[in-house]
Amino acid sequence: MSAISSPEPGANGVSALPGPKVYRVGTLTYTKSGLFQIFFWMLWGDFFFQIFESMPTVTPLLLRWQGASDTTIGLMGSLSSVVALFWAPIVATQSDRHRGRMGRRRPFLLWATPPVVISLVLLGAAKPAGIWVHRLLSALGGETFTVAGCTIAWIGVCVVIFLLFNAYIAQVFACLIPDVIPAEVMGKFSGIFRAVGAVGSLVFNRWALGWVEAYTFHVYLLIGLLFAGAFSVIISQVKEGEYPPPPPKAPGGRLGAIKEYFQTSFRHPFYLNIFAVWFFFWSSLVPLSFLVFFGTQAGRPGYAPTLDLSLQAFGEVKGWTFVVQIPVYFIVGFFADRFHPIRVTLAGMFLTAVSYFCGYWFVADKHTLLAWWCLNQVAIAVFLGAATAMSPRLLPRERYGQFTSANYIFGMVGLTLTPPLVGWLLQQVMDYRYVFLFCGVLTSLSLVALTTLYFQWLKHGGDKNFTPPDPVRKTPVVSAG
């Protein structure tokens, strides 16, 4: 059932016949009923997508169960990020320029879903696969290899394959949002979108995480199948409109296209500041992935004492952090539409930085971990709920995929450099409490970049007159209004 109708507009660009309010995005038009339907299907996809995206957070545990060090875990994350980094421009330019019967986004969701699900399932089979690889290598004379080493290598290969195809899923799904959701309701949609995503993350951490150690393959298989089914429905129910022809290809073939990509993506200070905001924010999430070692019994010998919680108890605490985010996401979208997303993101980023430093100073047991982590996630919800609506308001629509991929490049650089650095620092301080401090420092750097971006936004027109600046020009063409 399609939730989209496309009546012919009148000469002045509005529907010729009077009737209920019509919402437009490109050539797509929605009544309130149609808008509700497109909201429902996109949120349906987001729920299962967030459960699916929770699975890579288990990878450090898979590695730790094989005896991997913090540095190895960090290097593994960097290796996969480096590989995924080179796909970002390809994914973006392919979907921006593609024109077909299914639109420009959905074909990539269709073909990328099977391999990404298969790689996830194979990751869940790491333990028996490691034993099988070890036996195979031993039969071929490779007696120096250990079962743990073979399992770690299997995990690394599966993670790399997963990220290669997941880059298509994550970026194309994000680019689909401004293509099918009207700008006038983007803030509300973004808040609900994040809230539903938080419910998906809650479901995983509250009811699935505790089963991963004993039933690793079963959990991975179930979540992979749920994701495949959910996105099959998305591909069939969400319809794209008509797009104008893509801009002409740059002269010089592939080298010319690469040159144009970098010239238009990384020249203007306004866009560079957007990238810096996300570079430091994404980097700040890396130390947080080590928090499971501070909270549970998985700490290493010789390190400072941990909170010594069971994995089940830690999962319950983490689950509550998603519960408190849900009402915040519902509320923040209305503030983003009312005061502009960039202002709300500033408030959220400031509170996030403060909450990280408080976590370093005040977390001492399960209850204080629950309290400060929940406050931290509330602050992050304010930031993310508004930031999701900020990108469609700041980036040029015709190059939206390109700029999201350029942002992804910056993020991948951060995710490449930060894991081994954090792993090395933790081995020096030998205290997982420092993850709060590392997160706070990186978030503060993101706040500096976001503050600078705010003043640039004012120079380019602010509330009244902002239009995305020319990617090549370095000076604003519109003064602050």
- Residue-wise pLDDT tens digits, 42-73: 999 999 998 998 887 788 889 988 888 877 88
Highest mean pLDDT (candidates 8-22, 262-276, 312-326, 443-457): 443-457
pLDDT tens readout for residues 252-274: 777 777 788 788 888 889 999 99
**Structure tokens that stand for 233 in this block:** 């429905």
Residue whose structure tokens are 């993350």: 201
Q: What is the full DSSP assignment across 374-386?
A: HHHHHHHHHHHHH
The residues, ordered by sequence, that sit 6+ positions from 434 with a Cβ below 8 Å of its Cβ are 287, 360, 425, 426
| Alpha carbons 457 and 463: distance in angstroms, whole number | 9
Rounded CA gap, 400 and 243, in Å? 13
Residue 218 pLDDT > 90: yes
Interval 441-461: pLDDT, tens? 999 999 999 999 999 999 988
pTM, 2 dp: 0.68
| CA-angle at 59, arms to 54 and 65, nearest 5° | 135
For residues 260 and 256, what is the distance between their CA atoms, to the nearest angstrom?
6
> By the 8 A CB rule, do 275 and 410 touch?
yes
What is the model's pLDDT at position 261?
79
Top mean pLDDT of 117-126, 174-183, 243-252 is at: 117-126
Name the pLDDT band for 190 (thresholds 50, 70, 90). confident
Q: Is the pLDDT of residue 97 over 60?
A: yes
Task: Name residues whose C-beta falls within 8 Å of residue 165's C-beta, 6 or more positions apart in sequence.
Answer: 112, 115, 116, 119
Q: How confident is the model at residue 478 (pLDDT cuts 50, 70, 90)?
A: very low
For the chain, percent of residues with pLDDT exceeding 90: 36
Of the listed ranges 145-159, 289-303, 411-425, the one predicted with least confidence: 289-303
CA distance 163 to 440: 27
DSSP 211: G
Judged against a pLDDT cut of 50, whether residue 15 lies above it is answered with no
Chain segment 390-415, per-residue pLDDT in tens: 988 898 877 787 888 788 788 778 87
At residue 23, φ and ψ (nearest 5 deg) are -105, 135
Q: Considering only residues 263 and 226, tell me which one the structure prediction assigns the higher pLDDT.
A: 226
Domains defined for the chain, CATH in brackets = 23-240+256-465 (1.20.1250.20)
Structure tokens at 465: 């007159």
Question: Considering only 220-229, 255-264, 328-337, 469-478, which range has the smallest mean pLDDT?
Answer: 469-478
Mean pLDDT throughout 95-110?
88
Residues with Cβ within 8 Å of 136's Cβ and at least 6 positions away in sequence, in order, are none
Question: What single letter denotes the amino acid at residue 471?
Answer: P
Find the angle CA(327)-CA(331)-CA(336) to the nearest 5 degrees. Answer: 145
pLDDT at residue 429 above 50? yes
- The C-alpha R_g of the chain, in whole angstroms, comes to 23
Distance, CA of 337 to CA of 328 (rounded, Å): 15
Using alpha carbons, select from 158, 185, 426, 138 the residue that is nearest to residue 292: 426
